[in-house]
Structure 1
Amino acid sequence: MIATTDRLRVDYAQYYLYGSTYAEGQDHDAFQRIRTGNSVAAAAPDHLTVSCGTHAGSIRLTVESRMDPPGPPGADWEAVVDLSLYSVTGELGVQPWGGQAADEAVRGNLAAAGAGWYRVRVETRGRDTGRALNVANPWVEEHRLTLWPAPPAPDHVHRVTDEVGKATYDPTRPADPPIPPVPSADESLLRAWARSAGIAIDDNKPVPRSVRALAAVAGVLRSHHEQ
């Protein structure tokens, strides 16, 4: 899936990717992590916050969902970062500030591989022009989001060359680690049971349905809840 819109609404210099389990305000320190991290974006389970130069108005946004990593970023992007994002339910979509609807062109699910870990590349240009104008209609700032399934890894900054980014980005700081989901008690119990039964499971993905089915037959959760 590749889609582009010239009118993604931004307010307070931000927009998001949301999953269906995200609750408004849940990732309350996202902007602080952007300022003390890669200067472009911050991720938490089912949530990605992207920082713009434009305070209010429109930006141009291209989104791409793919199953393999993209090639090296083009030289014409001023800021490029890769970071890890966990999708709890296998649904991730573009979300403007304040619960507004995204432009129809970029609506849709970007989590092509279902629930689990994704790598997100955020590429930006024009943030300095957007910051100088403050309010931009039509757009002067362009972003691109590329998502693909990949194991979690710390943030990787390819480059930050715009003044908006350089105001906070410090290349000597350690890269931010990915934020994993908080497992429920049932999820932890299923993983422990699977290991005790000699069933190999991937800690970077949700417990497979096949394992859940076997655990149901064995009465694992039922016996635990009855205690």
Structure 2
Amino acid sequence: MSKATAIVPVSYNQYYIGGEIFNVEAWDYTGFNGLVAALDAPGHFAVPGQFAVVMTGTETGDVRVSIDIRATAPQETDLDAWDEVVEVSLSLPGRRRGVTTFNVDDFDLPDFPGPGPYRVRVHARGRDQGQELLMVEDDPVEEHLILVWPAPPASETVHKVTDAYGAMIRAS
């Protein structure tokens, strides 16, 4: 249906899928998979989430993000090319239905076609390299792929979690 790739400037090791930016200091990450959290407006885990926070190894700087919006679920999950792959459900009831950050909400990435429910599979690689550099300018070392398709709400599915940055988050 729609595909695109953009350079997304992240800060505080994160970007968002949909939603408004809420009081992040109140969020509780207990039991977090380390990559993507589906949250309700107060910042609690939810199925489906009203929005999602995606954690990046890169603290400040650029991450390459691709979105692939599909009409149906992908037939296979590509685990070989990625360090982390996690799937969540989102409802996206607000006006924002795409990738946003603290400062920017207009990327050359497609928004989801309308309110969900959607299944969202986030893939990441290069988070450990991004964490080592802290600030990444010009040529991102970290890459994310977000696959999206309409689907009824379902529990989170962790397909693969292998990078050191995600392990650090899961241990905290």
Q: Which amino acid aligns with 1:95?
A: T
Higher RCO (CA 8 Å, separation ≥ 6 residues): 2
User: Who is 1:87 aligned against?
Assistant: 92
Tell me what 2:168 maps to. Answer: 167
TM-score by length of 1: 0.64
In structure 2, distance between residues paired with 1:89 and 1:136: 31
Gaps in structure 1 of 5+ consecutive residues: 171-227
Identity %: 34
The amino acid that maps onto 1:60 is R
Pairwise CA distance, 1:26: 5.5
> In the alignment, is residue 41 of structure 1 matched against residue 36 of structure 2?
yes
Does structure 1 conserve the Cα–Cα contact (< 8 Å) formed by 2:97 and 2:115? no
Whether the 8 Å CA contact 1:38–1:155 is kept in 2: the answer is no
Match of 1:56 among 56, 60, 64: 60
Contact 2:18 2:94 in 1 (8 A): no
Tell me if structure 2 keeps the 8 A contact 1:46–1:92: no
Which has more strand, going by share of residues?
2
Select the structure that is richer in helix: 1
| Structure 2 residue aligned with 1:194 | none
CA offset digits 1:89-114 (Å, max 9, x no partner): 575111022x32443x21x321x3x3
- For 1:146, the equivalent position in structure 2 comes to 147
RMSD (CA atoms): 2.0
1-side partners of 2:95 and 2:10: how far apart? Answer: 25
Which amino acid in structure 1 is aligned with residue 14 of structure 2? Q
Larger radius of gyration: 1
Q: How does 1:43-192 map to 2 (within 5 A)?
A: 43-44=38-39, 45-74=49-78, 75-88=80-93, 92-97=97-102, 99-103=103-107, 105-106=108-109, 108-110=110-112, 112=113, 114-137=114-137, 138-169=139-170
Question: Which stretch has the larger CA shift, 82-91 or 118-127?
Answer: 82-91
Question: Aligned pair count?
Answer: 159
- Indicate conservation of the 8 Å contact 1:91/1:115, yes or no: no
Give ranges in structure 2 of 5+ residues lacking alignment: 40-48
TM-score scaled by structure 2? Answer: 0.83
Matched residues in 2 for 1:8 and 1:17: separation? 12
